[in-house]
Amino acid sequence: MSRTLLAAAALAASLAAAIPSAYADEATASRSVQCILAFSAAPRGSNPQASQAVAIATNFFAGQAFGAAPDIDLTALMRREASRMTVPQIRTLLAECGSEIQKRSGQLNAAAKAVLAEGIKPKP
């Protein structure tokens, strides 16, 4: 087998291995953007706690999207996902994404409590 053919086969294998990861990253980013859009569409009225919850959720899911795909065009992705969403889907997303926020908040609070209970303090 020639070196060129071996190099081409190695390149093809590495590209094939990267493709599922790229799709998974885009799917994660898309899902996170769907959560952002669902929370943005949720009625808040004049409730400051609801507004704060939306801000927390938006930042959490934006972090997920950028963590999954750091170079995404967020505006384009938001436009694409918004054009596909339905009211029933928004309702479902609010429940699912809200559960994820509660789960992650619980994990964060438990970790912080454990660290504080151990008396871990920053070095001077």
| Mean pLDDT across 69-80 | 92
Supply the pLDDT for residue 15.
43
- Contact present, 68 and 32 (Cβ < 8 Å): yes
pLDDT band at residue 24 using 50, 70 and 90 as cut-offs? low
Q: 20 or 122, which is more confident?
A: 122
Residue closest to 34 by CA, chosen among 85, 108, 91, 102: 85
User: Is 38 a residue whose pLDDT tops 90?
Assistant: yes
The pLDDT of residue 116 is 86
**Mean per-residue pLDDT over the chain, rounded:** 82
pLDDT band of residue 84 (cuts 50, 70, 90) is very high
Please state the domain extents for the chain: 3-116
Task: Check residue 8 and give left, alpha or beta (phi > 0: left; psi -120 to 50: alpha).
Answer: alpha
The span from the CA of 118 to the CA of 124, in Å, is: 18
Average pLDDT, integer, range 29-57: 88
